[in-house]
Amino acid sequence: MLDVAERLVQVRGFNGFSYADIARELGITKASLHYHFPGKAELGEALIHRYAARFGEALTEIDRDIAGPRAKLDAYVAIYSNVLSEGRMCLCGILAAEYATLPDPMREAVTRFFAANETWLAAVLSEGQADGSLAIRGSLVDASEMILSGLEGAMLISRTSDEPARFSTAAQGLLDTLTP
């Protein structure tokens, strides 16, 4: 259920699908979905929590397996690039576009997702600033926000042109601004 719902959100947006779409794809009744998720808001919250947990695990793996701040940032960009290569958007990025129409618990979960990413990015940037491999202009918070906003925006623009290379070009250009 969550896999199908996640794909639908990433492709159509949260307001672009219904329980009927999920039920039809899984060959089950809408009542079965309501048994697990009484309303679409509960389903949305579960999607965000699962997505954020998986994303957090990916960041932990990057920290564990990859040496060097720039290489970590390249791996971070690869997470977004991989999602885009599947014809999808970042789940929380697409939900941010619909933020005004989301229930409060979903809004809060989306905000937490982005805050966690900015915290991780700030730590990587701090590491790069300390070892001289990255040149941060302004505060770490501002630089983290710039990277996250730039990647999410690059995904949206790339999607409108159906050219994943536009994302890669924008992402690399963004990271290149951090080169000393």
What's the CATH number where 98 sits? 1.10.357.10
| pLDDT of res. 160 | 87
CA torsion angle 161 162 164 170 (round to 10)? 10
Whole-angstrom CA distances from 133 to 28, 127, 148 are: 53, 8, 19
| pLDDT of res. 162 | 79
pLDDT digits (tens, 9 = 90+) for 135-153: 999 999 999 999 999 999 9
Quote the mean pLDDT of the chain.
Answer: 95
115 belongs to a structural domain = yes
148 belongs to a structural domain = yes
31 belongs to a structural domain = no
Q: Would you give the end-to-end CA distance of the chain in angstroms?
A: 46
| pLDDT of res. 104 | 97
17 belongs to a structural domain = no
Q: Determine the structural domain holding residue 146 and report its residue range.
A: 50-176
37 belongs to a structural domain = no
Half-sphere exposure of 180 (CA within 13 A, CB side): 11
86 belongs to a structural domain = yes
DSSP 138: S
Q: How many CB atoms lie within 10 A of CB 111?
A: 13
| pLDDT of res. 68 | 97
Query: Which residues, other chains included, contact 147 with Cβ-Cβ below 8 Å and sequence gap of 6+?
Result: 73, 121, 174, 175
Q: Can you tell me whether residue 103 is helix, strand or coil?
A: coil
Half-sphere exposure of 144 (CA within 13 A, CB side): 19
85 belongs to a structural domain = yes
pLDDT digits (tens, 9 = 90+) for 59-101: 999 999 999 999 999 999 999 999 999 989 999 999 999 999 9
36 belongs to a structural domain = no
Number of domains in the chain: 1
Model confidence, pTM = 0.92
